[in-house]
Structure formats: C-alpha cells, structure tokens
Amino acid sequence: MIVERIKTNIRKEAVEITSIVAKHVKGIKSGIVVVYVPHTTAGITINEAFDPAVMEDVLNEYMRLIPYSNKYKHLEGNADAHIQVILTGSSITVPIEDGELALGRWQGIFFMEFDGPRNRKIYIKIIEG
Amino acid sequence: MIVERIKTNIRKEAVEITSIVAKHVKGIKSGIVVVYVPHTTAGITINEAFDPAVMEDVLNEYMRLIPYSNKYKHLEGNADAHIQVILTGSSITVPIEDGELALGRWQGIFFMEFDGPRNRKIYIKIIEG
Amino acid sequence: MIVERIKTNIRKEAVEITSIVAKHVKGIKSGIVVVYVPHTTAGITINEAFDPAVMEDVLNEYMRLIPYSNKYKHLEGNADAHIQVILTGSSITVPIEDGELALGRWQGIFFMEFDGPRNRKIYIKIIEG
C-alpha cells in the first residue's frame, strides 16, 4: 500500500489528485487501483476535471443540502463535513489498462476536503489481475 | 477489461444492466467484478429491479434535490447531472461466486443516465481470487 | 466469500460492524476487503466510530433530505429507504495491511439500516495481492 500526503487550503475544497494516482500504476499491465481516504471529514470522487466550475457547483450544492449549522448533535462544529463524506464515499476504484488509469476523457480523481485546511493522507492500493 | 456499449433514450433514466454484467462472470469460480462508468454525467448503482417505481422515485428525488436550473457556474446546462453522479458513484463492486454475481434476491445493477440521450460505455473488470 | 448475519432493532439505524470485518482479515498480509450488502433498503458506509452523535446526525439529515412520505410511486411504504441506500452505497472497499484493516484512526464501518428492524446479511470478500 502506497501512502501519499496532501495539504488542503480552505474548509471546502476539491483537490485534483489524478496525477498522484496515475504515477503509481505505470508498469501495471492489468488490474484495479483502490484509492482510499482514511479520514472522516474528507472523501474522494471522480468527475469532470476540465472546467473547474463543475466542482465549484458540487461544493456549493453540498453546502446547500447539508448546511453548516449549530443544530447538529456532534458538537465539534463539523457534523456537516461528516455527512458530506457519506454522500461522497471514502474510496474509488478504477480499472488499470497497460499502465494507465482507465478514466474517461473528461474524468479526474478529486480529493474532497470538507473540513480543511488540514494535512491529509491518501492510501493507494493496486491489485493486479 | 471488457467494454460494453449502451444507448440511453431520455435525459434521466435508470437502465438495468444486470444481464450485461452477469454474462461476463460465467465460469469465474471466485472473485469480484468492478463495473466502471467512464463518463461525468452518468453513474452506476445497485437497487431493486422488481418494481420499476423504485427507480422512478429515485430519479424524481434526485431531480428535486439537485434541480435543473440556470443558477450553476458550469455553463453547459448539465451541472445537475455532474452533481447527481457524485451522489451516486462511478463504479460498483460485486462479489462473484461460482460463475454468478452475488446479488441479493431483489437487487439489480442500474446504469444511471443523468444527461441523456447519449451513447455510453461501461467498463467491466474481473479480478479473480 | 464469507456470509455474516446481523439483526437490526429499529427503522433507521447505523450498526458498527468494524470488528465483524476485522476478524476475517487476520493473517492476510496484503490485499483488499470488499464488504457487500445484498439488500435494497440497507447500505454500508465508513465514518467516525468514536462519537455516536455523528451517525445520529447522519440519519437525521438523511430523513430530512429524503422524508418518509406517501408521495412515492413505490407503494410498499419504504421508498425513502431505497433512495437513502443509493445515496450511501451497497459496498465499501478497504485495503488490508499485515492482517489489519487500513482504517484511519477515527474510522469505523457502519451497516446502514434504513427499513428495519430486520434480519440482514453481509458478504465479506477478500482479494489478496
């Protein structure tokens, strides 16, 4: 298992990590890569990496659906982030073909920070087959 | 990696693809199958395949939660679809037992079109083990 | 594939199953574990297992976003549960390192009951590599 580290800069942020993942699958003829986030207030997803407005819209809608508020029972002020992670997911799985991620033309992999800024870890696990 | 193609017919549509996936796991004694959608405005999920009203309700609620609107920053008119994909996911993973998908009695696999009609691809990756 | 059984006690409930999964990865040097829920009104997720208020907030927000109601087309009275499953997911994947789940410090695995109480099954599939 490979461990990568990133630093986020604001409370809600979609950080593209496609190249961080892609470099580790070079030389793998066939298999899958699981990218796993070991945090409870950050998740991971796949979506358009071309127009940054897409992920801005995503974060805005997440904040509208699950607002920052003092109504929650969890008293650390980041219950919104925990819930947003569950709507997003803590891992993604992508097929590997001939040393490359089998992403679609417009797809990128995004680390979803919901309670930054923080120092974060990403686990990358490759299964050949 | 196997590539399958489907055609969707309307803007929002849940297309059951269980049989498309099932045919490729025949003969696999044990393992997992990852079904991956290489698009940014379509996703994939698992739910009830018996009563079609279930997936109608799902699509209606998705359109209520993330409405089609001109308020988004992404200007292609399909920001709702991008966000709906992130709430759904771009891949599913199902165990394989004795040549069959280990789905529950009522479960089916659904390709979730959020910005159709379009010609779409599905990647099917089997890992034995 | 390992099959585990649990019993849920109320309609909406997050049941921590980390130890049920952890016991099956002992002795596995490296790989992934897929935990799969073969039901259409229960899902699975990963989040904070320390403060129980976090999962209470999650369930409360899920009930606010997708309310129990008679407005749905699916007439069995549990359409809310089906939709909540799709927002949550039917499987999780976690890396295995030296016989242990590579969970983060605060993470636990939760079976998400959305239409209990019921007797439920969990499929655990380990892929070494």
Interchain contact, C102 vs A127, CB within 8 Å: no
Phi then psi dihedrals of residue B51, to 5 deg: -100, 110
- Which residues 6+ apart lie within 8 Å of A23 measured at CB? none
- Asked if A78 contacts A115 with a C-beta cutoff of 8 angstroms, the reply is yes
Which residues of chain A neighbour C87 with C-beta distances below 8 Å?
87
Report the CATH number that the domain containing residue A63 is assigned in CATH.
Answer: 2.60.120.460
Residues paired with A3 in a beta bridge:
A123
Distance (Å, whole) CA C21 – CA C33: 8
The torsion defined by the Cα of A90, A95, A98 and A101, in degrees rounded to 10, comes to -40
Q: What is the pLDDT of residues A60-99, one digit of tens each?
A: 999 999 999 989 999 999 999 999 999 999 999 999 999 9
Locus of tokens 């549990």:
C78
CA distance A61 to chain B (A): 8
- Which residues 6+ apart lie within 8 Å of C19 measured at CB? none
End-to-end CA separation in angstroms for chain A: 16
pLDDT at B16: 98
Distance (Å, whole) CA B68 – CA B77: 8
Structure tokens at C116: 């209990």
DSSP string, A62-81: HHHHS---S-SSSTTS-HHH
Locus of tokens 């996911």:
B89
CA distance A76 to chain C (A): 10
**8-state DSSP, A8:** -
Structure tokens at B6: 């489907």
Instruction: Report residues of chain B scoring pLDDT below 50.
Output: none
Q: What is the pLDDT of residues A16-64, one digit of tens each?
A: 999 999 999 999 999 999 999 999 999 999 999 999 999 999 999 999 9
Q: What is the pLDDT of residues B61-97, one digit of tens each?
A: 999 999 999 899 999 999 999 999 999 999 999 999 9
pLDDT at C74: 97
Which residues of chain B neighbour C79 with C-beta distances below 8 Å?
53-54, 57
Phi then psi dihedrals of residue C38, to 5 deg: -90, 35
DSSP three-state, residue A7? strand
Return the closest-CA partner of residue B90 out of B56, B129, B122, B127.
B122
Structure tokens at C23: 């016991």
Q: Quote the strand ranges of chain B, DSSP E.
A: 2-7, 13-16, 30-36, 42-48, 91-97, 100-101, 107-113, 119-128
The torsion defined by the Cα of B8, B13, B16 and B21, in degrees rounded to 10, comes to 60
CA distance B124 to chain C (A): 17
Interface probe, candidates A48, A62, A96, A100, chain B, greatest B C-beta count within 10 A: A48
* Contact residues, chain A to chain C, C-beta under 8 Å: 1, 31, 34, 36-40, 65-66, 72-76, 79, 82-83, 85-87, 89-91, 93, 121, 123, 125-129
Q: What is the ipTM of this complex?
A: 0.97
pLDDT at A115: 98
Return the closest-CA partner of residue A40 out of A75, A3, A85, A92.
A85
pLDDT at C115: 98
Question: Per the confidence metrics, is the pTM higher than 0.90?
Answer: yes
Phi then psi dihedrals of residue A61, to 5 deg: -70, -35
pLDDT at C11: 98
Per-residue b or e along A1-22, where b marks 16 or more CB atoms closer than 10 Å to that residue's CB: beebeeebeebbbbbebbebbb
For residue B2, the Cα-to-chain-centroid distance in whole angstroms is 16
Which residues of chain A neighbour C85 with C-beta distances below 8 Å?
none
* Host domain of residue C61: 2-128
- Asked if B30 contacts B128 with a C-beta cutoff of 8 angstroms, the reply is yes
Distance (Å, whole) CA C81 – CA C99: 34
pLDDT tens, position by position, for chain C (129 residues)? Answer: 999 999 999 999 999 999 999 999 999 999 999 999 999 999 999 999 999 999 999 999 999 999 999 899 999 999 999 999 999 999 999 999 999 999 999 999 999 999 999 999 999 999 999
Range A103-126 average pLDDT: 98
Structure tokens at B34: 């990852």
Task: Output the CA–CA distances (angstroms, integers) from residue A4 to A19, A22, A35, A91, A123, in the order listed.
Answer: 12, 12, 10, 14, 6
Of A75, A85, A129, the CB nearest to C47: A85
Q: How many structural domains comprise chain B? A: 1
pLDDT at A62: 98
CA distance B5 to chain C (A): 23
Q: Give the CA count within 13 Å in the CB-facing half-sphere of A114.
A: 32
Distance (Å, whole) CA A14 – CA A112: 5
Distance (Å, whole) CA C63 – CA C43: 15
